[in-house]
Structure 1
Amino acid sequence: MGTTSKALIAVVCLVALLGGVAFGGLWWFQQRLDANVEKLGDPFAAVSDRPEPAPSDPAEELGDVNILVLGSDSRISAGDPSQWEAGAQRTDAIMLVHLPADRESAVVVSIPRDSWVPVPGHGHAKINAAFSYGGPSLMIQTVEDLTGVHIDHFAVTDFESFTGMTDALGGVRIRVPEDIGDGDEVFFAAGVHEMSGEEALSYTRQRHGLTNGDFGRVQRQQNWMRSILGKINNNRRDVVMMAKFFDAVSRSVAADDELSAERMRELFDSAREVSTNDVAFMTAPYEGTGRSADGQSIVVLDEDSLDPLMEAIAEGRAAAYVDEHADDLELLPATVK
């Protein structure tokens, strides 16, 4: 599965779960979902020199919420530091989900897994190495140090059942603006497709015709995520569909102890008016790819663009910043090639 698609699925899992815990107000269903979610303890306890939360606005009853979401090859060992070995638990992608205090929008920033950054205690390394070196706590520390953004919650998922989650929704609708193929065979003809889980996976894996390689795949994967969220929004009243979907999602998520069913319900209720059109999907600003001193293939982040974006998120003015700098950011377009 593609690098960023896993983190996107992680966000879908989290958003869907937030909806699921408010599903129909059924206590037994909420309890089952909460029991399905693996708990990671308090990964923030070992994080030092943390950024301050965004200043609260007296006019807003709620504060900003920032959630760090990881896509990993295994969630089960994520809560057991004794099982961590360098490289043993891969973090295939990292995403920062920002909900502002007014709950009128959201920002989702994908940080490429190969981004070359300082990892506390380990010098410079690819950002996904932080999870292998020290699990959730070191990953949180690394991202907070890089961005200056206070992380409120942490979630990680595996992906064994992601095609099933897609199929539980009856597939997703994705527009393909031009034929996708390998030059000899057309895999997806131009037009609107109702894609099953397997078809969506093939769509996100397809490389042919992408001039910017993996960065181009990121947008296809974000497009898939946007379609998933749209399907959820349009089918909230379909009891059978939502029950199956939320159950599958909850079995794929691990989260910090404070991200309880009650907390999820609070977040869902406060953000229930946010539609897919209100969510800004983007990739963290980058200069391009390169090589580290020891020969690793890396992504070089554009600090001159990344720092003001993250400062805006940290200070609770992300929506205004994104609107003002939309031409300078790699935002997900309405139609993705």
Structure 2
Amino acid sequence: MRNAVPPPPVKRRRTGRRLLVTALTLALVLLLAVAGAAVYLVSSVGNDVPRIPDAFRGLAAADRPATFGGTTFLLVGTDSRAEEPITGAGAAPDADGGSERSDVIMLGTLAPDGSSASVVSIPRDSWVEIPGRGMDKANAAYAYGGAPLLIETVEQLTGVRVDHFGVIDFAGFTTLVDSVGGIDVTVARATSNAGVDFAAGENHLDGTQALAYVRQRYGLPNGDLDRAARQQNAIKALLERVQATATSDPAALYSFATSVGDAVSVDDSLTNTALVQLAVANRNLRGSDVAFVTAPVAGLGREGAQSVVYLDETRGQELWGAVRDGSVRQFAELNPGAALGGTPS
């Protein structure tokens, strides 16, 4: 039964980690742009990033959405570092990314002219149609059929064609933050988490502190909603720091770039040449040009024993149309509840 008012947050094992993965997904998409000032880095990064074979296996071109000129990444994060990583350079040879449900699902889109980008989070518990499986949570598609089924599911939901696929491991978050000398975030009110105190106002965080910042849920007025806002706030701060580093500290930028290969894998159609082309095409993109949005939610509820998220179909169609025509920022202005704004708690 669908609830108009979301119930109190339910503690889930692993939820903190999926927020860290989100920062890495953003780094994967937008590193291509911020590294445009130093294209020589891209080939080095490309050599270090493992490729995922056959991510688009069995997807007939005629059955997929039409291209619209931009470049869209479907990015997932899995909480897999408990023992062995399933992605990145440290992955076990027989690691299978599709053996687990994805903890983060995001669409990152670069505009055709390189002037803007958008990142849309799709709640992993979204109740959606999975081809051949019926209605289920969105993240179940990855467990059932790996990258191809998740891509098909997201394309069917959004009408947006997926050009590339990436899998991220959360463990590289602290290293990425430390590699650029930390990040600066503004906090609405004083809080603390995991032994780290956050003062009201601006805070400079190293990797460990940033980890505590994005993991905090308790002690925040809106629980998971505030934590999600913190997550996007940290991502934005990381991108801004990387952008500044690109011109002021090439050594730190190189450290950041080479760290990405330890945490991410991408589909094998994204060659080093394609990486360079993306970097050049998006070399003028800035963090302020990126719109952060979450797919509109109609409410929470239960399907059998499962807690699920019901997406708002009407506003969702507006959002996916905005992704296709490059007007996500305008959508965010009209739907502030779905967008990152203000100062998170």
Fold agreement, TM-score > 0.5: yes
**How high is the sequence identity, in percent, across the aligned residues?**
36
Gaps of 5+ in 2: 1-15
Give yes or no for the alignment of 1:335 onto 2:338: no
Counterparts in 2 of 1:112-191, with a 5 A limit?
A: 112-181=123-192, 187-191=197-201
The one-letter code sitting in structure 2 at the alignment partner of 1:191 is: G
Counterpart among 34, 37, 47 of residue 59 in structure 2:
47
The Cα of 1:212 is off from its aligned counterpart by: 3.4
SS of structure 1 residue aligned to 2:170 = coil
Counterparts in 2 of 1:1-337, with a 5 A limit?
A: 1-17=16-32, 19-20=34-35, 22=36, 24-26=38-40, 30-48=42-60, 49-54=63-68, 63-74=69-80, 76=86, 88-181=99-192, 187-237=197-247, 238-292=249-303, 294-314=304-324, 316-319=325-328, 321-322=330-331, 325-327=334-336, 329-337=337-345
SS of structure 2 residue aligned to 1:101 = coil
Displaced runs of 4+ in structure 1, greater than 6 A?
Answer: 77-80
Q: Deviations over 1:283-323 (max 9, x none)?
A: 1100222111x210111111111012102323x24247426
Distance 2:164 2:125 in 1: 23
- Does structure 1 conserve the Cα–Cα contact (< 8 Å) formed by 2:129 and 2:136? yes
SS of structure 2 residue aligned to 1:139 = helix
Q: Aligned pair in 2 of structure 1 residues 323, 282: CA closer, same or farther (>3 Å)?
A: closer
The Cα of 1:65 is off from its aligned counterpart by: 1.2
Distance 1:291 1:239 in 2: 50
- Does structure 1 conserve the Cα–Cα contact (< 8 Å) formed by 2:29 and 2:73? no
Give the structure-1-normalised TM-score: 0.86
Please say which of residues 143-152 and 205-214 is displaced more in the overlay. 205-214
Please say which of residues 115-124 and 227-236 is displaced more in the overlay. 115-124
When the two structures are aligned, how many residues end up with a matched partner? 319
What's the Cα RMSD here?
2.5
Gaps of 5+ in 1: 55-62
Q: For CA contacts below 8 A with separation 6 or more, give which structure has more relative contact order.
A: 2
Q: Aligned pair in 2 of structure 1 residues 255, 43: CA closer, same or farther (>3 Å)?
A: same
Give the structure-2-normalised TM-score: 0.84
Aligned twin of 2:10: none
Distance 1:77 1:333 in 2: 32
